[in-house]
Amino acid sequence: MPAIEQLGAATRTSSLWSPDKVTVIFVLGGPGAGKGTQCAKLVTDYGFKHLSAGDLLREEQDRPGSEFGEMIKEYIREGTIVPMEVTIQLLENAMKAAMDKENKTMFLIDGFPRKLDQAHAFERSVVPSKFTLFFDCPEDVMQERLLERGKTSGRADDNVESIKKRFKTFVETSMPVVDEFESQDKVVKVMATRSPDEVYEDTKKGLKERGIEPITLKFVKTNA
Ligand code: ADP
Ligand code: C5P
Ligand code: MG
């Protein structure tokens, strides 16, 4: 089945799901801030479904027969933002699959929305977010992390030239999204410069303040 059958998601005039039933936390931060690293930790402790918009785009890019493959490749290499219709449809499809197959209702949407139009369209036509987890990190730290990641990631954009373009896009296009959510008191900001475990401690604190707690596993003693 193609990943994108029709690009209808972004044009719907009412939301597909209610925020009472489906919880979406957007995860934002510059390239290399540690979004994916922190999301992996949150999945283990909170049972979220983690969906990275970048991963979904790379998957679609590599899907044989995709009519969007070449376009996505170009955008990723240039560090610019793929038109929202494609990304929103990929996210909606992945959310539906996780609901149907894994009974998931709590989502970390990582690396999205990276542009104001994406934020507005997703909240209008898919589901309004609960809040945004924002990892704040200076560019020199992010650059060092990305170059280190680039030694093994195989990514076409973990190189100095693409990184520069991605930083520019982040400042000019993606930060306005964070600023808008901030003005609605919908941002949990975490400093992302310390070690992954230290950043995670602050992340957990931030989620707790918004009423999100880890899953507590209950062990029932048996006589066996
Ligand atoms: P993002 O998803 O925001 O682009 P990643 O989670 O992929 O970032 O992290 C980028 C790189 O930096 C990875 O190689 C990761 O292992 C490393 N990294 C992530 N968080 C930290 C941290 N707090 N300190 C040092 N390195 C980190
Ligand atoms: O989040 P990640 O670093 O994996 O994203 C890689 C690239 O994918 C971005 O630089 C951008 O070109 C593209 N992307 C996008 N729209 C998103 C997320 C990622 O165009 N919402
Ligand atoms: Mg990532």
Q: CATH number, domain at 25? A: 3.40.50.300
Pair 57, 87: CB distance under 8 Å: yes
For the chain, the domain total comes to 1
In eight-state DSSP terms, residue 28 is: E
Angle value at C-alpha 50, between 46 and 52, nearest 5 degrees: 155
50 touches ligand 1 (CB under 6 Å): no
Ligand 1 nearest-atom number relative to CA 35? 3
Q: Is 36 part of a structural domain of the chain?
A: yes
Q: Is 9 part of a structural domain of the chain?
A: no
Q: Is 88 part of a structural domain of the chain?
A: yes
pTM to 2 decimals? 0.95
Q: Within 13 A of 116's CA, how many CA atoms are on the CB side? A: 8
Q: Is 195 part of a structural domain of the chain?
A: yes
Q: Is 2 part of a structural domain of the chain?
A: no
Domain that holds residue 115: 16-222
Instruction: Take atom 16 of ligand 2 and give the residue whose Cα is closest.
Output: 81
Pair 133, 25: CB distance under 8 Å: yes
DSSP helix/strand/coil, 110? strand
Token couple for 20: 């009472």
Q: Using a 6 Å CB cutoff, which residues line ligand 2?
A: 31, 52-54, 57, 75-76, 79-82, 87, 111-112, 114, 157, 166
Instruction: Take atom 15 of ligand 2 and give the residue whose Cα is closest.
Output: 81
Q: Please list the pLDDT of the chain residue by residue as tens digits (224 residues).
A: 345 656 777 778 899 999 999 999 999 999 999 999 999 999 999 999 999 999 999 999 999 999 999 999 999 999 999 999 999 999 999 999 999 999 999 999 999 999 999 999 999 999 999 999 999 999 999 999 999 999 999 999 999 999 999 999 999 999 999 999 999 999 999 999 999 999 999 999 999 999 999 997 667 777 76
Q: Is 69 part of a structural domain of the chain?
A: yes
Pair 157, 76: CB distance under 8 Å: yes
pLDDT of the residue at 6: 63
Q: Is 123 part of a structural domain of the chain?
A: yes
